[in-house]
Amino acid sequence: MYQFNYKKVETIEEAVNELSANPESKILAGGMTLIPTMKQRLASPEQLIDIRNIKELNFIKEESNNIVIGSTTNHYTVASSDLIKNKLSSLSRLAEGIGDPHVRNMGTIGGAISNNDPTADYPAACLGLGATIKTNKREISADDFFVSLFETALEEDEIVVSISFPIISDSIYMKFPNPASRYAMAGVFMSKNTSEVRVAVTGASENGVFRWTEMESSLLNDWSKSSLEEVKLSPEGIMSDIHGNSEYRANLVNIMAIRAFEGINE
Amino acid sequence: MSLVELEINGKKISQDVEERQLLVHFIRDDLNLTGTHVGCDTSQCGACVIHVDGKAVKSCSMLAVQANDTKITTIEGLADGESLHPVQEAFRENHGLQCGFCTPGMIMAAVDIINRNSNLDEKIVREELEGNLCRCTGYQNIVKSILAASEKM
């Protein structure tokens, strides 16, 4: 690992000031992606700003039919929260399936979405539920937040404060984990309420998480197995690597969508 | 350098560390507690699992500076003098190890699993061992050991 400065901050304001003062800084939350990346010298920030001690970023609450989660809340806390289990179990189950227990004790929701790894789980939940991401400056809808691989709408001096998920009980996340790494090779987050169907896909596209709009309109038009099976994901633009080519991955997405649909109907 | 003050296995430590030093290297090289192992370079194997403020974490994926002001338990801190911790005893009784390299991480993970789950069964134990790799045992006796220990804790 290359040498860097380390700064622990106690408030959001302090974190933002540090970020503005040194644009080569990186925010350190759980560090479950950042530290392994730095170990491999794939990242070499000049300074780490440790935000894990900012108390106001660590919370889970219910607010006007939304579950609001502070950005430094770790995956274990989300997975084991009774409030989320009762109101939005799709999100508890997603959190329960991230990494392994030790990673879940450290990794945070804010870190996961700010990194926007194309195989991460949380971005699918944000898009699949139509979440709103609150930062120190503004509120960003999930539809505008995830830009491309490892790229978000966050500006250089902007940090995620909380994520607000609408409580949609007809929602589910289905993923096909890579048998070795356990990252999603294909993950589908599906939700359905009276006016909208959302189908978000992670792990598959060369451009990161995306909404599968063709599937959404087909299911909104007619919530049935036949309209589900009419739509097939095109392999174009789908990742192709040692673990599976684009045809294989596109088919996995189709299958995860079927499982999600069946799961919601159960 | 940054000052790190923490408590490890009941002992208070105050020491300057290089910011980039991993917690596992601090524990092994500076504190000479070599029971915590490094088995991979990719955060996958779990040989380095320790407890920080009661939670199981991978000490290879954490900086020593992040552990400032925490309470740490490593495998050396489990036994009570000469009497083994119930999980250590169960690993011995049930032949839960062969080469022993993964064992410190396995046992620290097992204690955490048992603490978090009141009704353990084989399925839960196997799922919970997601982050700990063993190349010898095929996990059978590790699972058996953890289930046996959970009866006694």
Q: What pLDDT is recorded for position A191?
A: 98
Domain identity same for B6 and B72: yes
The 10s digit of each residue's pLDDT in A120-141 is 999 999 999 999 999 999 999 9
Contact check, Cβ <8 Å, A105/B113 = no
Are the C-beta atoms of residues B67 and B30 closer than 8 Å to each other? Answer: no
Number of domains chain B is built from? 2
Cβ contacts of B42 on chain A, cutoff 8 Å: 36
Domain identity same for B68 and B106: no
Domain identity same for B67 and B120: no
B55 Cα to chain A: minimum distance (Å): 7
Interface mutation vs chain B, best among A102, A104, A117, most B CBs within 10 Å: A102
Are the C-beta atoms of residues B88 and B116 closer than 8 Å to each other? Answer: no
CA dihedral (B72, B76, B81, B84) positive or negative: positive
> Where does the pLDDT of residue A152 fall: very low under 50, low under 70, confident under 90, or very high at 90 and above?
very high
Residue A227 lies in a domain: yes
Centre a 10 Å sphere on the Cβ of residue B86 and count the other Cβ atoms it contains. Answer: 18
The 10s digit of each residue's pLDDT in A8-22 is 999 999 999 999 999
Alpha-carbon span B110 to B100, nearest angstrom? 15
Number of domains chain A is built from? 2
Residue A90 lies in a domain: no
- Region A219-243: mean pLDDT is 96
Domain identity same for B23 and B41: yes
Are the C-beta atoms of residues A34 and A111 closer than 8 Å to each other? Answer: yes
CA dihedral (A83, A94, A51, B11) positive or negative: positive
* Enclosing domain of residue A23: 5-50
The 10s digit of each residue's pLDDT in B17-55 is 999 999 999 999 999 999 999 999 889 999 999 999 999
Residue A16 lies in a domain: yes
- Average pLDDT of chain A, as a whole number: 96
B49: left (phi over 0), alpha (psi -120 to 50) or beta: beta
Residue A245 lies in a domain: yes
Q: What pLDDT is recorded for position A180?
A: 80
* Enclosing domain of residue B17: 2-77
Here the CATH number for the domain that contains residue A225 is 3.30.390.50
Q: What pLDDT is recorded for position B16?
A: 97
Q: What 3-state DSSP class applies to A15?
A: helix
Residue A81 lies in a domain: no
Residue A93: how many CA atoms within 13 Å on its side-chain side? 15
Here the CATH number for the domain that contains residue B67 is 3.10.20.30
Q: What 3-state DSSP class applies to B55?
A: strand
pLDDT at A179 over 90: no
Here the CATH number for the domain that contains residue B134 is 1.10.150.120
* 3-state SS string for B85-101: CHHHHHHHHCCCCCCCC
Spell out the residues 6+ positions from residue B32 whose beta carbon is closer than 8 angstroms to its own: none
Residue A187: how many CA atoms within 13 Å on its side-chain side? 32
- Region A200-217: mean pLDDT is 97
Q: What pLDDT is recorded for position A70?
A: 98
Here the CATH number for the domain that contains residue A9 is 3.30.43.10
